[in-house]
Amino acid sequence: MGEHTAPLFPQEVIDEYAALGVDLPALFSAGHLGERMGVTIVEAAADRVVGTMPVEGNTQPYGLLHGGASAVLAETLGSIGSMLHGGATKIAVGVDLNCTHHRGARSGLVTGVATPVHRGRSTATYEIVITDEQDKRVCTARLTCLLRDAPRPDAG
């Protein structure tokens, strides 16, 4: 489903997350569900996360992009932004996701862009706008994540 590229991270950042049991490169590949759906993370920072997903293979019986597929893309992007905002000492857990579907998509790639609405100490909320290849809005979503303390690695 297309070539997957992942953002590059400094080794010390990868090591910091690995110490907490988080495989940062795997996270940014969008995980197992994201891989099955063809999600690719293009850009990742606490203030903006961009990803793409093919419509093909992610449709409902009428041949349109499935609303649940849009929700997966939105939650993936918003969760990554929340995790980056929280840093290595926090884990982001989605607690609320809502999606408004504006139009159908039948082919090509959709692109999601997550930007913060609120970034606090205990929660982070992101708006995710998903557009088609003609830059027409397909879906608008909002995700709120709870930022919990990450488990401390065992001292050995």
> Which are the catalytic amino acids?
75
Strand locations in 25-79 (E): 40-45, 48-54
87 CB contacts (<8 Å, ≥6 apart)? none
In whole angstroms, give the CA distance from residue 56 to residue 38. 9
Q: Which residues are bridge partners to 25 per DSSP?
A: none
Lookup result for tokens 């994201």: 34
In whole angstroms, give the CA distance from residue 113 to residue 51. 7
Handedness of CA 50, 57, 143, 11 (dihedral sign): negative
